Structure 1
Amino acid sequence: MTKFEDILLFGVLALVWGTAFTAIEIGLETLPPLLFAALRLDIAAAVFVAAVALGRLEWRPRTRADLALILSNGILVIGAHFAFSFTGQSYVSSGVAAIVLSFAPIITPIIAVRLLPTERVRLTDVLGLGTGLVGVVAIALAGGSLDGQLLGIGLLVASAVVFAFGSVLTERWTAALPTMSLHAWSMVTAAAFLHAASYASSGSAIRDVTWTPSAAVALAYLGIVATAGGFFCYFVLLNRIGATNVSLINYATPVVAAIFGATLLGEQLTAATAAGFALIVVGFGLCNVRPLWRLIRSSQFGDTPNRPLERDEVRVSGNVYRTTSNAGSYLQSGD
């Protein structure tokens, strides 16, 4: 791949994951949030399982680490994350949901320094977290509804936190399974978790759903394009341009979500919401001063994601964090 192709693929990923929020908004018009999330993962799990079978990959978990990773990814990183995010988006617009979930890259390194062997937190990290929180509060107060907008924001923040916590927790184990097999098991586990949560909370089952053409198209798009296709693009980019560069997808996605939400759904973002997003972006920059500076100075659009770690670095889910300045980059949490 050339540099231009890398940038093009980055744009495709931003488009796919940004429009996923629009698809969720459409599906939530008729589908219960938890069941909707479960069905999305049913489709994605089928795609991943088929890929494992066609590739004749090893699929049987053989170690305790495999089982721990499957449960952590399935229940926390995917299952609980989707449960909070889909339910939260039922109270707010797709653009607002995408913006709030961009808070995840700020909270991830803060959790990492608490759970992983680290040295200390810099002042810029504290300032970054505080700035990001102010941005989230500004967005929450923009709606002025204690039982609507504020509740949705709270659920979305919980989604970002549980995603970050699960991502850091998985660093404790090293899988023996191939990556594709691990993701297949994680998708299956997450789908089962969400089906159980959906039935326990509201008794919702597939037979109770009133299907519409728009809901069916939204579900297919989320399962096949946004989840299976999106993660394929993500891992190609991770290998090509490195974790620091690909983490910027977290701030391209909300822009795409806002544009499509306004164009297709007639959503409007207030000045307070835009200001809140700006504060979140500033917070991300403060938490990542050194890697962003290296990125600006670099003549190459990329980094080597599998390079040897320096003394003050840790790797979480394939992403590198500098523990004295908390550099890092993260999986997109809201697609």
Structure 2
Amino acid sequence: MSRYRTIGLFLTLATLWGAAFVAISAGLSYIPPVLFAALRYDVAGVVMLGYAAVAVDRWRPRNGAEWRQVAVGAVLLIAAYHAFLFVGQQHTTAAAAAILVSLSPVLSTGFARALVPADALSPVGVVAVVVGLAGVAVIVRPDPSNLLATGIVAKGLVFCAAAAFALGSVLTRRFDTSLPIETMEAWSMLGGTLMLHLVSVAIREPLEPAAWIRPEAIGALAYLSLGASAIGFLVYFDLLERLGAVEINMVSYVAPIVTAVVGWLYLGEVVDTATLLGFGLIAVGFCLVKRRAIRREFGHVRSRGSSE
């Protein structure tokens, strides 16, 4: 029963996070992008902090190292990631955005190796990163004569979102602290949303509350705040105790499938052949980077199956 519950939670998380890209596209018709991202975490941050206060023994950081870890999460995992993603997704499909974001685990490996010179990438690792980046190039399809075309810039911004998230994931893990992940996420959300609000004001995004009360805008914001963020992270924390890092990362490769289906049904978006090919290359890059861990996981599955 435990195995089926884990599978159910995994599919639930992939669905919650995959559909989030569609909700972003829907809400961007009514709310400016950076403000939209900030409003999402106004709600989610408070919910997550309340959860941390109940679920773990430390609901706030206690020392400088822990606050620095939170600051990195706020800047990269929340503010930079969502600012780039929401702005970029104004001019690209939800499925393409989800696929580009799925490059994060591959980029994380590259950043991890770059930050630890003694732990250089193996030749296969280098090939994996190159294959993943080739997948991005296939999706973006840059035109040398017009590199500032709206679609190219938009996809480039989504790539920057994936890079910011990958770098943030590596840097937050490098802090040697005992801060619970729930607490770190909650305070990062609150700090990140403050930064997003400041950026929104700085770039003078229009304030039109009348547009925000449209049913579709309210639904998109509610889904992103409560469904994808609050509930999604609770499911993630549960799965984190059950699965290894490799299996958790696989959510990134199931979520775009959900995005493509929901985007087609709700927004009428069609995934073209180039986007599918790019997704395949990014997935191959991930499998190459994580080949040893994947082999171990399959070995564990086979051994459990034979024992049953």
Same fold (TM over 0.5): yes
Deviations 1:58-84 (A, max 9, x none): 334321111101110011111100110
Structure 2 match to 1:279:
281
- d(CA) in 1 for partners of 2:53 and 2:137? 46
Structure 1 match to 2:169:
167
Match runs of 1:308-319 below 5 Å: none
Structure 1 match to 2:300:
298
Match runs of 1:123-202 below 5 Å: 123-141=123-141, 146-202=148-204
Q: Which has the higher contact order (CA 8 A, sep 6+)?
A: 2
Structure 2 match to 1:249:
251
Q: Which moved more, 1:142-151 or 1:122-131?
A: 142-151
Structure 2 match to 1:79:
79
Residue 147 of structure 1 and its aligned partner are, at CA, apart by 2.1
Deviations 1:267-308 (A, max 9, x none): 011111111111111111111211112222222699xxxxxx
Task: Please say if residues 239 and 248 of structure 2, whose CA atoms lie closer than 8 Å, have aligned partners that are also in contact.
Answer: yes
Deviations 1:79-121 (A, max 9, x none): 1001101111111010110011111111101110111364321
Unmatched segments (≥5 aa) in structure 1 = 303-335
**Are positions 1:20 and 2:20 aligned together?**
yes
Unmatched segments (≥5 aa) in structure 2 = none
- d(CA) in 2 for partners of 1:214 and 1:277? 29
Deviations 1:196-229 (A, max 9, x none): 0111112444757543110101101110110011
Task: Please say if residues 66 and 175 of structure 1, whose CA atoms lie closer than 8 Å, have aligned partners that are also in contact.
Answer: yes
Q: Which moved more, 1:163-172 or 1:62-71?
A: 163-172
Amino acid at match of 2:95: G
Structure 1 match to 2:101:
101
Identity of aligned residues (%): 37
Task: Please say if residues 30 and 210 of structure 1, whose CA atoms lie closer than 8 Å, have aligned partners that are also in contact.
Answer: yes
Structure 2 match to 1:110:
110
- C-alpha change, 1:30 and 1:8, in structure 2 (3 Å) is same
Residue 149 of structure 1 and its aligned partner are, at CA, apart by 1.6
Match runs of 1:19-98 below 5 Å: 19-54=19-54, 57-98=57-98
Residue 145 of structure 1 and its aligned partner are, at CA, apart by 8.4
Q: CA RMSD of the aligned region, Å? A: 2.2
Pick one of 219, 222, 231 that aligns with 2:221. 219
- C-alpha change, 1:63 and 1:146, in structure 2 (3 Å) is same
- d(CA) in 1 for partners of 2:222 and 2:241? 27
- d(CA) in 2 for partners of 1:258 and 1:138? 17
Structure 1 match to 2:242:
240
TM-score when scaled to structure 2? 0.91
Deviations 1:237-295 (A, max 9, x none): 11102211111001000000001001111001111111111111111111121111222
More helix by share: 2
Residue 148 of structure 1 and its aligned partner are, at CA, apart by 2.1
Task: Please say if residues 35 and 205 of structure 2, whose CA atoms lie closer than 8 Å, have aligned partners that are also in contact.
Answer: no
Q: Which moved more, 1:172-181 or 1:71-80?
A: 172-181
Deviations 1:23-62 (A, max 9, x none): 1111011110000000000010121122244458433432
TM-score when scaled to structure 1? 0.84
Task: Please say if residues 106 and 132 of structure 1, whose CA atoms lie closer than 8 Å, have aligned partners that are also in contact.
Answer: yes
Q: Which moved more, 1:138-147 or 1:208-217?
A: 138-147
- C-alpha change, 1:81 and 1:292, in structure 2 (3 Å) is same
Task: Please say if residues 89 and 158 of structure 2, whose CA atoms lie closer than 8 Å, have aligned partners that are also in contact.
Answer: yes
Task: Please say if residues 245 and 301 of structure 1, whose CA atoms lie closer than 8 Å, have aligned partners that are also in contact.
Answer: no
Amino acid at match of 1:173: F
- d(CA) in 1 for partners of 2:239 and 2:303? 11
Number of residues of Structure 1 aligned to a counterpart in Structure 2: 302
Residue 181 of structure 1 and its aligned partner are, at CA, apart by 2.5
- C-alpha change, 1:193 and 1:208, in structure 2 (3 Å) is farther
